[in-house]
A and B are shown apart, each in its own frame.
Chain A
Amino acid sequence: MQETRSNYRETLKALERQTLEALDMVVQALDRALEAISYQDVELAGMVVADDDRIDGRYLEVHQGILSLLALQTPVAIDLRIVAALLHVIRHAERMGDQCVNIAKLIPLSGYEAPKDKDLLDAIERMGQLARSQVSQAKQAFAERNSDLAYDLLRQDTEINQLNVAIFNRALAIGDDIETREWAMHMILVARCLERIGDNAVDIGEQTAFVVTGLFREFADASHPG
C-alpha cells in the first residue's frame, strides 16, 4: 500500500496550515488590542485595524483553495470532514479578527488620557488572557485532533462569560464622573467583543470534535442552557 495522491495530500496539509496560521494572526492582533487598552495606546490600536487586512486576505486565500480542492480532488471521508471544518475555522478566524478591530476602534473614542478604573481594567485584562488562551488552545486541539482539549474550551468560556457579567455590573456602579462612565461603557463593548472571541474558539472546538468523530454537536446550546 504505497502512498498515493501526494500532490493532493500536500495541498490539503497546506490549506490546514494556512488556516491555523490565521489563528496565530488573531492571537497577535488580540495581544496588541489588549496592550492598546492597558496603555490607552491609540497608535497601536490603529495598527490592529490596519493589519486586519492580512487576516481577511488569508480568509479569501483559504476559501479559494478549498473551492479548488473540492472541484479538482473531490475529497471524501476524513478529508471531506477536514475540508468542511476548515471552511468554518477560517470563517471564525476572520470573525475573531474583526472583533479585535472592533476593540481597537473603541480605544481612540476615550481620548489619549482616559480615566480608568483598576477593578474594571483588571477584569478586562483577565478576560483578554482567557480569550487569548482559548484561541491558542482551539488551534492546538484542531492541529492535534484532540477532542478532549477541544471540549475543555467550554470550561474556559464559562469563566469568560462570568467576567463579562461582572464587568457589566462594575460599569453600572462606576459612579458619577461622566468621562469615567463613558470609558466604562466602552469597556462593556470591549468585554462583549472578547466574549464573542471566546464563543468563536468554542465553535472551532466543535469543528475539531466533528473532524474526529464525524458527528457534529454543539458543546453548549445558548438557547437551552443546561
Chain B
Amino acid sequence: MIQPRLSLKRNREMSSTDPPTEQEQGPQAPEPRAEESSGSGAANGAGRAKKSAGHQVSITDLHAYYGATEAVKGIGIEFPPNEVTAIIGPSGCGKSTMVRCINRMHEEIPGARAEGRVLLDDQDLYAPEIDVTAVRRLIGMVFQKPNPFPTMSIFDNVASGLRLTGNRGENLRERVHKSLRAVGLWGEVKNRLESPGIGLSGGQQQRLCIARTIAVEPEVILMDEPCSALDPIATLKVEELIDELKEQYTIVIVTHNMQQAARVADSTVFMLDGQVVEHAPTSELFTMPKDERTERYVTGKFG
C-alpha cells in the first residue's frame, strides 16, 4: 500500500525543476550532519494547513542492531502530537539509536539495521514503498554539535533545503526570515544575513540549525542532545524555543541532562540497556517514579 501523504510529497518533489539527487546524498551519508538535506514537500509557501494540528509517532516492538549487537531490544513508545517527549538513560542505553530509527537514519550506518514498526500517524515509515528521503523531510533532526554548512552564509544555511524544493525569490526570502524569527535569531542576524553561518556563537549556530530544520516545515523534530555543547544561557534560549515549537511540532529530545528533561518535557522516557523502563508524565517521573531502576537513576544512585 502506498502511503498517500508521503507519496504525495514525493510527487511534488519529482515535479520540481531541480532533480533531488544532491539532496538525497545527504541523509544517506553515515555522518550525522547528513540530516540537513531535508527539503520540503510543501513547496508552495503557504504550506499545509497543519499549524498546531500535530502528528503522532508510535514505535512498536522496535529492535535495532549494529551488526550482531542488539542496541534496542524491542521497545514501544508513543510520542503524542504537540508534546515534548524526553528520552533519558545512561550512555549506551540505546536512546540515540532509537531516535535515529524514527527518521530512518540508523540504517545508514554500515552493518546497522532496524526491525519493528514506526508509525507517523497511521503511516508505517518502514513500509517497502516508502521514500526514505520523504521520511527525513517530515522528521527533522537537530544534533549535539551545531553543524551549519561551513561554506554557506546564514541566509543560505536556512534556504538550502527550501531551494531544493523549488522555492525562489520573494517566497524563499519570506520563509527564511520566518524561520529565523521563529527561533529568535532574527534580531541578532538580520543585518548580516550574508556572513558565514559558522561566524555565529555556538548557541546562535544551534538555533540556526533549528531554523534550517523547521524551514522545510517538518511534522516531527528529533533532537539529540541539542544543548550539550551550549552555555547555560544559550541552553535556556533553546529550551524556551522548544517550548514554543511544540505548538506546531511533535518533539523528541534525547538528553543527558535530567534537569533539562524536567524543564522542557511533557513526558519522559527512561531507557536502560536497550529497553524502556518507564514512560510517565515528567513531573511524576521525577517525584514518584514507579520503577526502582528509574528511582536509582534519577536520584543518581548509579552512574
Contacts and interface: CB of A to CB of B under 8 A. Distances in A.
A75 B287 contact: no
Interface in A73-88: 74-81
Nearest to A78: B295
Contacts of A214: 287-288
Residue of A77, A79, A213 with most chain B CB atoms under a 10 A cut-off:
A77
A80 B259 CA distance: 13
A2 B262 CA distance: 24
Interface stretch (A3-11, A13-21, A37-45): A3-11
Contacts of B287: 76-77, 80-81, 214
A80 B298 CA distance: 11
Residue of A78, A81, A214 with most chain B CB atoms under a 10 A cut-off:
A78
Interface in B265-303: 286-289, 294-296, 298-303
Contacts of A213: 288
Interface residues of B, number: 16
Contacts of B302: 1-4
Contacts of A215: 288
Contacts of B258: 76
B301 to A, nearest CB: 7
A76 B303 contact: no
A76 B298 contact: yes
Contact of A4 (B288, B289, B295, B303): B303
Contacts of B299: 75-79
Contacts of A74: 259
Contacts of A76: 258, 262, 286-287, 298-299
B301 A5 contact: yes
A13 to B, nearest CB: 13
A8 B294 CA distance: 18
A1 B296 contact: yes
A22 B165 CA distance: 71
Interface of A is mostly: loop
A4 B301 contact: yes
B300 A4 contact: yes
A222 B128 CA distance: 66
A74 B259 CA distance: 9
Nearest to B302: A1
Interface string B255-266: 000110010000
Nearest to B296: A1
Contacts of B301: 1, 3-5
A109 B299 CA distance: 53
Contacts of B298: 76-77
Contacts of B288: 77-78, 81, 213-215
A193 B85 CA distance: 51
Given A80-B287, A214-B287, A8 B296 contact: no
Contacts of A75: 299
Given A214-B287, A214-B288, A8 B295 contact: no
Given A214-B287, A214-B288, A77 B303 contact: no
A25 to B, nearest CB: 30
Contacts of A3: 301-302
Nearest to B258: A76
A75 B259 CA distance: 10
Contacts of A4: 300-303
A87 to B, nearest CB: 15
A79 B262 CA distance: 15
Residue of A2, A76, A81 with most chain B CB atoms under a 10 A cut-off:
A76
A77 B295 CA distance: 6
A22 to B, nearest CB: 25
A3 B302 CA distance: 6
A214 B284 CA distance: 9
A4 B294 CA distance: 15
A114 to B, nearest CB: 52
Interface string A182-226: 000000000000000000000000000000011100000000000
A184 B298 CA distance: 56
B259 to A, nearest CB: 6
The 7 closest A-B pairs by CB, nearest first: A214-B288, A1-B302, A5-B300, A76-B286, A4-B303, A76-B298, A79-B299
Interface of A: 1-5, 8, 74-81, 213-215
23 contacts: A2-B302, A3-B301, A3-B302, A4-B300, A4-B301, A4-B302, A4-B303, A76-B258, A76-B262, A76-B286, A76-B287, A76-B299, A77-B286, A77-B287, A77-B288, A77-B289, A77-B298, A78-B288, A80-B287, A81-B287, A81-B288, A214-B287, A215-B288
Given A2-B303, A76-B299, A77-B289, 9 more contacts: A1-B296, A4-B301, A75-B299, A76-B287, A78-B295, A78-B299, A80-B286, A80-B287, A215-B288
